[in-house]
Amino acid sequence: MKESTFVKHTTLFLHSVDFVKNSFVFDELDSTNATAKELAKKGAQEGTVVIARTQTHGRGRFDRRWESPEGGVYLSLVLRPQVPLEKTSLLSFLAALAVAKTIATYGVQATIKWPNDVRVNGKKIAGILLESEGGGSTSTYVVVGIGMNLAIDLKQLSAELQTTSTSLLNEVHQAVDYHKFLQTFFRIFEHFYAIYQEQRFSNILAEWKTFTDTLGKQVKIQTIAETVQGTAVDIDESGFLLLRTSEGELKKILSGDCLYFDELHHA
Ligand code: BTN
């Protein structure tokens, strides 16, 4: 089959990115994370990148669907970090931070809702899905999946998402170049990934905290096991959210859906 312009240009572009060691670009794929995981299991090296123009079965956190129309960024990175296993989830903080900083280069203020929803004006613009396999004290591989509403006309999304999502195109009201966005993103990601590999985790969390609007807020967290409410007081050095309940108990939460009380009441 003849290569599309998207595949040709994106492959060529990825060859110029230092961080990218191997790339697989598709016009349409079920899920870039699913393909990246298969490649990782077969031994794909760190810096392998899978990109699709659209996805038919894009996956979100908690097995949700990630709508993936044309114009979005659907990207998965294979990493093999040499850091303690309990620090793996910090990679999703790192990815959210890199996306938020990339968005900032367009003069748009992005915020991060714990753990890794990137939002603009309270609407979701990007999400991160981390999938990994442990091998003793470190991970054998980590796939960092990034879905970003870049040049998406919001009408391409379902009615439900149209009210809760935004895109960079919708925020800047001018054309946004796909490869330029990726170039900035990879530059920033590479910078923080070097810090991560040096195990300077507090530096990453300190930067992440400058973007989050979760800390200090009254939140409701739905985990797989329970729903808890309280004040989000801090994030610990492994990415756990520290929540102070109304009974004064301090709970440590690794993963969950975070809802803000002030937004719940206005909904
Ligand atoms: C979330 O629920 O917020 C995470 C969404 C992650 C979506 C991205 S799109 C690229 C990669 N491939 C997938 O199937 N999912 C991730």
Q: Is 76 in the pocket of ligand 1 (CB under 6 A)?
A: yes
Closest residue (by CA) to atom 9 of ligand 1? 147
Instruction: Return averaged pLDDT per consecutive 10 residues of the chain, 267 residues in all.
Output: 92 97 98 98 97 98 95 98 93 98 98 96 97 83 98 96 97 95 98 98 97 97 93 95 95 93 73
Per-residue pLDDT of 112-136, as tens digits, reads: 999 999 999 999 999 999 999 987 7
Q: How many angstroms separate the alpha carbon of residue 96 from the centre of ligand 1?
A: 12
Q: How many angstroms separate the alpha carbon of residue 85 from the centre of ligand 1?
A: 22
* Strand ranges across the sheet with 73-79: 22-29, 48-55, 73-79, 138-148, 123-135, 117-120, 111-113
Position 265 scores a pLDDT of 61
Q: Is 127 in the pocket of ligand 1 (CB under 6 A)?
A: yes
Residue to mutate, 79, 116, 129, ligand 1, most ligand atoms under 8 Å from C-beta: 129
CA dist 45 and 104 (Å) reads 30
Helix 5-15 vs helix 178-197: angle between axes, to the nearest 10 degrees?
40
CA dist 86 and 89 (Å) reads 7
Position 150 scores a pLDDT of 98
Q: How many angstroms separate the alpha carbon of residue 247 from the centre of ligand 1?
A: 36
CA dist 92 and 90 (Å) reads 5
CA dist 229 and 219 (Å) reads 6
CA-wise closest residue to 19 among 223, 217, 193, 239: 193
CA dist 119 and 137 (Å) reads 34
CA-wise closest residue to 216 among 232, 239, 228: 232
Q: Is 166 in the pocket of ligand 1 (CB under 6 A)?
A: no
Q: Give me the helices (H) in the chain, please.
A: 5-15, 32-41, 90-104, 159-164, 168-172, 178-197, 201-211, 261-266
Position 137 scores a pLDDT of 79
Position 267 scores a pLDDT of 47
Q: Are strands 22-29 and 48-55 parallel, antiparallel or unpaired?
A: parallel
Task: Report the nearest atom of ligand 1 relative to the CA of 126.
Answer: 3
Q: How many angstroms separate the alpha carbon of residue 59 from the centre of ligand 1?
A: 5
Q: Are 211 and 111 in contact (CB under 8 A)?
A: yes
CA-wise closest residue to 184 among 104, 83, 88: 104
Q: Are 115 and 75 in contact (CB under 8 A)?
A: no
Q: Is 115 in the pocket of ligand 1 (CB under 6 A)?
A: no
Closest residue (by CA) to atom 15 of ligand 1? 59
Residue to mutate, 26, 28, 74, 93, ligand 1, most ligand atoms under 8 Å from C-beta: 74
Position 173 scores a pLDDT of 86
Q: How many angstroms separate the alpha carbon of residue 107 from the centre of ligand 1?
A: 25
- Amino acid identity at 147: G
Q: Is 74 in the pocket of ligand 1 (CB under 6 A)?
A: yes
CA dist 100 and 96 (Å) reads 6
Q: Is the peptide bond before 69 cis (omega within 30 degrees of 0)?
A: no
Q: Is 8 in the pocket of ligand 1 (CB under 6 A)?
A: no
Position 134 scores a pLDDT of 80
